[in-house]
């Protein structure tokens, strides 16, 4: 079975700093997607960024970018110029294409941005 591991339960940085959240996953498959989801306090979970495993280029979305190392099965999220609104739980998730919509989530990292 596929597993996703986020080894940092909590992180805290100062506003405007850059922070990197770690994620590793275990799979023997080659066709899959990886996602980072954000869950702000008392608000709905939203998608931050996605990466298709067959693409070598790392995905970016404004201040958010990923470092996708397929051989190492690593998928870290970098947040540049962090803002107070980035305070949230962040979940890494894996999806095997053959299993359609079955997302497998990591344990989550609670990120706090301090003023």
Partner 1 sequence: DVKVTQSSRYLVKRTGEKVFLECVQDMDHENMFWYRQDPGLGLRLIYFSYDVKMKEKGDIPEGYSVSREKKERFSLILESASTNQTSMYLCASSPAGTGRINEQFFGPGTRLTVL
Which chain residues interact with partner 1 by CB under 8 A? 4, 6, 9, 33, 37, 43-47, 50, 91, 93, 95, 97, 100-103, 105-108
User: Could you tell me which residues come within 8 angstroms of residue 113 by beta carbon, excluding any fewer than 6 positions away?
Assistant: 12, 13, 14, 15, 82, 83, 84, 85, 86, 87
Q: Are 100 and 115 in contact (CB under 8 A)?
A: no
CB of 17 to partner 1, least distance (A): 25
CB of 15 to partner 1, least distance (A): 26
Using the minimum distance from each CB to partner 1, give the nearer residue, 37 or 68.
37
Residue in the structure block whose two tokens are 């999220």: 77
CB of 5 to partner 1, least distance (A): 10
């Amino acid at each position: 079975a596929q597993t996703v591991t986020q080894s940092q339960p909590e992180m805290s940085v100062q506003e405007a700093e850059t922070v990197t959240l770690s994620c590793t996953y275990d799979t023997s498959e080659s066709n899959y997607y990886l996602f980072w989801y954000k869950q702000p306090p008392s608000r709905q979970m939203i998608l931050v960024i996605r990466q298709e495993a067959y693409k070598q280029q790392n995905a970016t979305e404004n201040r958010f970018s990923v470092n996708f190392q397929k051989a190492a099965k690593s998928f870290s999220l970098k947040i540049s110029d962090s803002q107070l609104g980035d305070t949230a739980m962040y979940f890494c998730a894996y999806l095997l294409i053959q299993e359609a919509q079955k997302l497998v989530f990591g344990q989550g990292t609670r990120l706090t941005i301090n003023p």
